[in-house]
Amino acid sequence: MGRLRATLEPRSLALLIATLLACAPRIAAACPSCEPAIEARAAIRSDPDLLLQASVTVLPFLLVAIVAILLHRMGRPRPDGDIR
């Protein structure tokens, strides 16, 4: 209850409103509807190497995932009691 009351304090409310305003898309500097952003999205969509670029971006993560699986099994006791 005390925690709930703390979140409704004017200071907390002001911080929340300021955060929401700062995140409002209208004043965002990135401007998703501006010409460079539209051109960039179109360039990515029409790039014939899109799948290749996505694959090579993902590839190192796939390899580390395989290593993580191998490490997870490291030292797992065998049924006969030995430790690998």
Binding interface with other proteins (CB under 8 A): 36-37, 39-40, 43-44, 49, 53-54, 56-61, 63-65, 67-69, 71-77, 81, 83
Taking the complex as a whole, how short is the minimal distance between the CB of residue 8 and other proteins, in angstroms? 31
Taking the complex as a whole, how short is the minimal distance between the CB of residue 60 and other proteins, in angstroms? 4
Question: Residue 31's closest CA among 41, 17, 20?
Answer: 41
- Bridge partners, 83 (sequence order): 77
Which residue, 1 or 62, has its beta carbon nearer to other proteins?
A: 62
With 0-12 CB in 10 A as exposed, 13-18 as middle and 19+ as buried, what is 40? Answer: exposed
Which residue, 10 or 48, has its beta carbon nearer to other proteins?
A: 48
Give the residue carrying structure tokens 């995140």.
Answer: 23
